[in-house]
Every structure is written in C-alpha cells, then in structure tokens.
C-alpha cells in the first residue's frame, strides 16, 4: 500500500503543477494546485495528493494508534524537505535546474511516505504524541488552505519569475523554473 501511495502522490502532484493553468485560473483550483513557481506552491502540490490519499490509507492504517502521528510527520517532512533540497542545491548551482527539481520532488514523495510507514509500524506511541500531532495537523492544513490567498512576504512564497506572491505571482507567459 505504501508504494501505491507514493505513486498516487507523485502522479497527482505532477498533474497539480499544471492544473491551475489548465483550469483557466480557477480560484477553487488554486487551493489545491500550484498557482506560481514559488517553493510554497511546490510544497502544496505534494501536500494535496498526500491529504487526498488519507481517504484511502485511513481504511488500511487508521487502526494503527500511530496513524495521526504518521500523517502529521509525513506532511512535516514535505514542508521541510522541499525547501531544504531546493535551496541546498541552488546554493551551489545559483539557478534552478528542471531535472534536479523534478528529482527533488520525487525524493520528497518517497521520503515523506517512508516516514509515514516507519511511524505506523512502531509500537503504539504515548497519547501525548497523538495530541501534539493533532495540533500539528491543524496548523499544517490551516497553512495549506490559507497561504495561497494570503502569502507571507517571504522568499519561500515569492514567484522567482514575477517576483510576486500567491495568486498575483502567477504570470500566464512565464517559463517554469523547473
């Protein structure tokens, strides 16, 4: 099931990179799909299919006392690892490289699912971890829903092409950074 989840997240995440453009800039679609080339929007296109996958894997893993912990840490892995990998390699290359960006995305998909798999296969963790994970999930999902329409003025949210943020960062004629 874990490999099916990885495949689902990779394929849907790739599709979500283009969906906003395909949808003719539909604001509802903007909640789930990338609206510009910022690092945040790439985090979002990995989070979206991961959250959707919960509808499937919850039936298999929800009886694990560690399911909520696993999902919270899976999402946290995405949120941390995408910028770490992207900014680490561009520190040396001084520019984004499409093939490396794609590889980084798939590395994050694999790592986040491996974190989830590791956590759900542990002995049941103390309830405090479930409680803290619920808080973390609330923050992660809240940020996911809020930040496209209300991006922070921070480099992670800035479109590297238009130098704007959120929906305003989208330009119809830009070339993809990756």
Report whether 42 contacts 79 (CB < 8 A).
Answer: no
Q: What is the pLDDT of residue 167?
A: 80
Q: Is residue 23 part of a domain?
A: yes
φ, ψ for residue 174 (rounded to 5)?
A: -85, 160
Instruction: Write the pLDDT tens digit of every residue in 160-174.
Output: 888 888 887 766 544
Range of the structural domain that residue 118 is part of? 2-169
Q: What is each CA distance from 75 to 43, 88, 142, in whole angstroms?
A: 9, 20, 12
- Angle, to 10 degrees, between the axis of helix 39-61 and the axis of helix 127-146? 140
pLDDT at site 24: 93
Look at 111 and 150; give whichever has higher pLDDT.
111
Helix or strand (DSSP H, E) at 15: helix 2-22
Tally the domains of the chain.
Answer: 1
Residue 51 falls within a domain, yes or no?
yes
pTM above 0.85, yes or no: yes
- Nearest in space to 35 (alpha carbons), one of 150, 170, 153: 170
Q: Do the domain assignments include residue 177?
A: no
Residue 88 resides in a domain: yes
The answer to the question of residue 176 being in a domain is no
Tens of pLDDT, residue by residue over 36-46, are: 999 999 999 99
Residue 178 lies in a domain: no
pLDDT (tens digit per residue) in 46-63: 999 999 999 899 999 988
């Amino acid at each position: 099931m874990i490999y099916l989840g990885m495949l689902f997240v990779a394929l849907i995440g790739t599709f979500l990179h283009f969906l906003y453009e395909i949808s003719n800039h539909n604001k509802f679609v903007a909640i789930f799909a990338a609206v510009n080339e910022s690092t945040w929007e790439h985090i979002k296109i990995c989070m979206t299919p991961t959250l959707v996958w919960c509808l499937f894997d919850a039936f298999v893993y929800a009886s694990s006392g560690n399911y909520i912990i696993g999902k919270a840490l899976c999402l946290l892995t995405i949120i941390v690892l995408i910028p770490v990998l992207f900014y680490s390699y561009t520190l040396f290359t001084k520019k984004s490289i499409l093939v490396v960006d794609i590889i980084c995305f798939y590395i994050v998909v694999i790592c986040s699912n491996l974190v989830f798999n590791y956590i759900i296969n542990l002995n049941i963790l103390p309830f405090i971890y479930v409680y803290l994970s619920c808080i973390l999930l609330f923050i992660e999902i809240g940020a996911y829903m809020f930040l496209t329409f209300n991006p922070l003025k921070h480099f992670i949210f800035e479109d590297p092409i238009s130098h704007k943020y959120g929906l305003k960062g989208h330009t119809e004629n830009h070339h993809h950074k990756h």
